[in-house]
Amino acid sequence: MLRSLQSLVGYSVAAEDGAMGKIHNFLFDDHAWIVRYFVIETGSWLRSRRVLISPVAAGPPDWSRGTIPVSLTREQVRGSPDVDTDKPLSRQYEVALSQHYKWPHYWTAEMIFATPPPPVEVFEPDVPLEGDPHLRSAREVIGYELDAIDGNVGRVEDFVVDDEDWALKHVVAEIDKPAGKRSVLISPRRIIEMSWPEMRVTARLARAFIENCPEYDPAAPVNRKEEIIFYDYHGRPTGRGQEAA
User: Where a domain ends, among 135, 161, 190?
Assistant: 135
Q: Total domain count for the chain?
A: 2
* Shared domain check, 168 and 92: no
Q: Where are the alpha helices (DSSP H) in the chain?
A: 5-8, 74-78, 91-101, 138-141, 207-211, 224-234
243 within domain boundaries: no
Q: Measure the CA–CA gap between 41 and 207, rounded to whole angstroms.
A: 38
Q: What is the pLDDT of residues 146-195, one digit of tens each?
A: 999 999 999 999 999 998 899 999 999 999 877 779 999 999 999 999 99
The SS3 assignment for 231 reads: helix
| 131 vs 52, more confident | 52
What are the backbone angles phi and psi of residue 164, rounded to the nearest 5°?
-85, -35
* Shared domain check, 169 and 121: no
* Shared domain check, 59 and 15: yes
211 within domain boundaries: yes
CB 104 within 8 A of CB 117: yes
The sign of the CA dihedral 144, 146, 151, 154 is: negative
209 within domain boundaries: yes
- Whole-angstrom CA distances from 121 to 4, 32, 92, 99 are 32, 20, 13, 8
Q: What residues make up the domain containing 164?
A: 142-234
- pTM summary value: 0.78
